[in-house]
Structure 1
Amino acid sequence: MAHMTKRDFDILDNNGTKYLQWRVDARANLKAKGLEHTILVDGNSTSQEQAKAIVFLRHHLHENLKIEYLFVEDPKELWDNLCQRFESLERIIGPKAQYDWMNIRFQDFTSVSDYDSAMLRITSQLRLCGQATTDAAMIEKTLSTMHADNAVLQELYRERHYNRYCDLIAILRMAEANMKVMFHNHNKRPAGTVAPPETYVVKSGQPWRNFKKGNTTFHKGKGKWRPNFKPLNPIFKGKKKFTPNKGKPNQTTKCFKCGITGHWAKECRTAKHLVDLYTASQKGKGKEVETNFVKETSPVLSLDLSDYLIDDIDNGCGPST
């Protein structure tokens, strides 16, 4: 169950790629626990202290390394075996770190953070190999490898006489942030031009009217103070409902209930029996219907036989004999 216990730092892999970092972390933790003398020559450590130190070191080793040094019970012996096993790493990491130190340039990086990370990685590798670098060397490396366009800034930084590398990096970070803000403001509007006037656009379909009291609260958004108006009627989403025409009907508008012009159907006040007659008359519209037309101009006369006989008196002749 040892692998389930929380570790104080990363374990040492079987290939030993991070042996130098592991050695520094292991020595610091043993010193914090009061067990550093267990890995020193003539440390005069007790058997109980040796047991604690060996358990701690084995807990931060890879499984293959644990098996290889399974029967090693002295922490000093385990420490020396690991040093002999991975001592060749110093001969590999050291020249590579020196090469990186000679070729690192401030102008080759796009940001101060990237340069600082690379510089700290190289200097830490040099320290692990016994080749410590001073703050003065790091400051000189940074200032001497700046771009030629920053010659004036380089001299200004030299005149401040920084003693710590971290102070110089803090100033460079601040200058980089201010430079970004300056370029942003410069590119926002060309030099010599006037800022365009502010305009407010109201899209069609948004009834921005009839505001209630209390809706005129303001909030700051995108650097401008704008009213937080809310319309009384929310915008209808989806299909629009049918709404009748507004206004007064004209004389050509005909009511579809009674057929009379001058009013809408919803305002019709015609009697129901008249509406029914008009509706019935509209149902047969368009069909051929046989009709008889009778027109009364005078009352009908009743004629008899005497009306068709010719009277002699009327013809101007006397009575016959």
Structure 2
Amino acid sequence: MKPEAPMANDRGAVLITVLLMVALMSVIAVGLSGRVSALIARQHLIETGSAAREAALSAETLAKAVLRQSFALNNNRTTLDAPWARPAHFMTEAGRIDGQISDGGNCFNLNSLVSGEGSIRQSNPAAQAEFARLMALLGLNPAEAEAIAAAAADWIDGDTRPNPRGAEDYDYMAASVPHRAGNTLMADVSEFRAVKGVTPAVYSLLRPYLCALPVTDPAPLNVNTLMPAAAPVVAALFPTDPDLGRIMDAIASRPAAGYGAPEEFWRLPPFRSLTVGDEIKARTSVRSRFFMLVAAVSHADARITLTALFDATGKDDVRLVSRRFGDEE
């Protein structure tokens, strides 16, 4: 007996099954292709990002060497004609590195708002008053400036007792996002944004004049590296408001080789009408200790910025204090 021929419906079902399998395999292939492409792209980003990071760390190593070279040439005075002050630009196989070292101490050190160490850190009223004067010189209402200075000191000191007009844990725990005061030295100026009263506008206004050095001493202002824009920091040293324009002119009139001693700076005409006491003179120097490196690296399609703070206590002692990758948020 002859076998019966397949029915038309059976042939159609087989054809549909084959087509579905082909379509499914196509979808799987496309999906796998997309995943493979994504993995390749991700690996490329990792590799280029890692290479850019290594290049930035190389710039950091070079900066330390340049600082040592500068102090080997002159360990007693820090001037802008030294090797460290020259911007550096390097082309690499897949991009470039741009680096600039600046004096990291011509600023108001937020950590000077306290004195002492550890749990015995206490608010420094003189530093608070100086900080409030700086903020007022920059346009803040004096009452607002005093409150921010008090709150910033509370943020750093070692106790939980608020200063008059200050702020401690109780105030911050009542915030929309509850948190506590730092009660330790600030590791980065960006921490200042968390202090009560510091709005984004206030932070943006004050940021160019601030630093967070790893010491509670005031930052010695180097009269050989000060820039005219830092005039408010100098003016804040005085209990009265001196003429900012005249201080800017005094800074700009610095001789090319710099000064041999701070007294030469204070003898300039803008300061003759002011009382420049020993305490104010002691706040200036002709040698810098802290330096800031900003290195911008491009490698293939990766971009990275490194900011590093160095502590240079001697010609053979240049120590990395902090390092940050990326721009300040």
TM band (smaller chain): under 0.3
Q: Which has the higher contact order (CA 8 A, sep 6+)?
A: 2
In the superposition, the TM-score normalised over structure 1's length comes to 0.19
Q: Which has the larger radius of gyration?
A: 1
In the superposition, the TM-score normalised over structure 2's length comes to 0.19
